[in-house]
Structure 1
Amino acid sequence: MPQLNPAPWFFIMLTSWLVFSLITQPKLLHFTSTNPPSSKTPTTAKPAPWTWPWT
C-alpha cells in the first residue's frame, strides 16, 4: 500500500514546514496592524427611543 510508505510524504511535509517556518512566518510577522488596539474603554452612545407616528 503506497500510503503507508512515509518516504516521499515525510520529505514533502518537512519541506512545507521549513518553508512556512523560515520564509512565510517571518514575512507575516513584519506586518503592522492598521488599527492598533487602544487601552481606552469604548463609549457606547445610548440611542434615543423611536417615536412611532401611530402611537
Structure 2
Amino acid sequence: MPQLNPNPWFFIMLISWMTYSMIIQPKILSFLSTNQVSSKAPTIPNTKPWTWPWT
C-alpha cells in the first residue's frame, strides 16, 4: 500500500511545517498588534435587571 510508505510524505510534511514556522509565521505575527497593558483598573458596568411587562 503506497499510502503507508512515509518516505516521500514525511519529507513533504516536514518541509511544509518548517516553511510555515520559520518564514510565514513571523511575517504574520508582525502584523498582529497585542493589547497594551493598562494600569487603569477595569470598570464594572452598571447593569440593571430587566423588568418584564407580564410579571
**TM-score with structure 2 length normalisation?**
0.61
Q: Letter of the aligned partner of 2:29 in structure 1? A: L
Q: How many pairs were matched up?
A: 55
Moved >6 Å (runs of 4+): 51-55
- Give 1:1-55 correspondences, 5 Å limit: 1-33=1-33, 35-48=35-48
Could you tell me which runs of 5 or more consecutive residues in structure 2 were left unpaired when the two chains were aligned: none
**What is the CA–CA distance in structure 2 between the aligned matches of 1:34 and 1:50, rounded to whole Å?**
36
Could you tell me which runs of 5 or more consecutive residues in structure 1 were left unpaired when the two chains were aligned: none
Sort the Cα spacing of 1:7 and 1:44 in 2 relative to 1 into closer, same or farther, 3 A.
same
C-alpha displacement of 1:28: 2.1
Q: Letter of the aligned partner of 2:6 in structure 1? A: P
**TM-score with structure 1 length normalisation?**
0.61
Identity %: 67
